[in-house]
């Protein structure tokens, strides 16, 4: 989920849903022409352009896709007047996604490719100049006021790690966890609390066991640099 400049909430899923001030939910725009599989991550830039991504395959086929080298993922944009269009494809399981504080760069985590990929944001909301921002794995990611990215990852031995990374790949901070980390976000009263979502993973064919095990946790750590959007 994320928020439009006027404070209304957007929620991804099979459709992109907007939550109105009275709590009612409506379709924000029709994205079925971009992908029939729904959308996962979302970010909004300072001009109100909304970016969403999709892995663009049925998650039941996870095992087949991860070993195939396929990269069917896509990014789409919805501009403030409601028009939507696809912008980028060929993404290897696009996951977390952020916009830099100056609203000039979009960064997306390609989990299967184990890299953070960047695009320039054009005046009309389009994306150009695709490039590798850092050769590190990110699932859920967030960005701080210095433009460094916190990214979550599954470490060897079913443990987890959350890294603070600068453009080019320099790792400047590292938090070790005892289970895989899947998302992180800066928040709290001063924007300096890093929230981390972690859970043990048994594989896509053991989802019922995963749900029953209840191993999910939300962990916190204090950091020096606040969230990019903090006053």
Question: What pLDDT, on the 0 to 100 scale, is given for residue 158?
Answer: 77
Tokens representing 216?
Answer: 């999910």
- pLDDT above 80 (res 152): yes
Q: How confident is the model at residue 157 (pLDDT cuts 50, 70, 90)?
A: low
pTM across the whole model = 0.91
- pLDDT above 70 (res 201): yes
Dist CA 11 CA 146 (whole Å): 27
Dist CA 10 CA 214 (whole Å): 28
Q: How confident is the model at residue 58 (pLDDT cuts 50, 70, 90)?
A: confident
Report the Cα 152 to chain-centroid distance in Å. Answer: 10
Question: What pLDDT, on the 0 to 100 scale, is given for residue 70?
Answer: 79
- pLDDT above 70 (res 204): no
- Chain mean pLDDT for the chain: 90
State what percent of residues in the chain have pLDDT above 90.
Answer: 70
Report the Cα 96 to chain-centroid distance in Å. Answer: 2
Phi and psi of 64, rounded to 5°?
A: -70, -40
Q: Range with the lowest mean pLDDT among 39-48, 125-134, 141-150?
A: 39-48
Dist CA 183 CA 139 (whole Å): 6
The helix (run of H) or strand (run of E) holding residue 14 is: none
State what percent of residues in the chain have pLDDT above 70.
Answer: 95
Tokens representing 37?
Answer: 């599989």
- What angle is formed at CA 94 by the lines to CA 193 and CA 188, rounded to 5 degrees? 10
Q: Range with the lowest mean pLDDT among 89-103, 152-166, 176-190?
A: 152-166
């Amino acid at each position: 989920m994320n928020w439009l400049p006027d404070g209304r909430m957007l929620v991804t899923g099979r459709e992109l849903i907007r939550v109105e001030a009275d709590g009612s939910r409506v379709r924000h725009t029709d994205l079925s022409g971009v992908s029939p599989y729904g959308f996962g991550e979302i970010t909004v830039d300072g001009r109100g352009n909304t970016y969403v991504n999709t892995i663009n395959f049925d998650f039941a086929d996870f095992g087949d896709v991860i070993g195939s080298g396929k990269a069917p993922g896509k990014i789409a944009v919805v501009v403030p007047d409601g028009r939507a269009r696809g912008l980028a494809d060929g993404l290897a399981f696009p996951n977390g996604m952020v916009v830099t504080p100056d609203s000039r760069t979009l960064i997306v985590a390609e989990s299967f490719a184990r890299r953070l990929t960047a695009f320039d944001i054009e005046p009309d909301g389009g994306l150009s100049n695709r490039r590798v921002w850092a050769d590190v794995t990110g699932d859920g990611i967030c960005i701080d006021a210095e433009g460094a990215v916190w990214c979550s990852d599954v470490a060897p031995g079913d443990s987890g790690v959350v890294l603070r990374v600068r453009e080019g790949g320099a790792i400047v901070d590292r938090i070790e966890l005892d289970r895989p980390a899947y998302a992180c976000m800066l928040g709290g009263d001063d924007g300096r609390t890093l929230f981390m979502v972690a859970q043990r993973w048994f594989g896509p064919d053991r989802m019922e066991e995963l749900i029953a095990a209840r191993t999910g946790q939300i962990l916190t750590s204090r950091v020096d640099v606040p969230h990019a959007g903090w006053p």
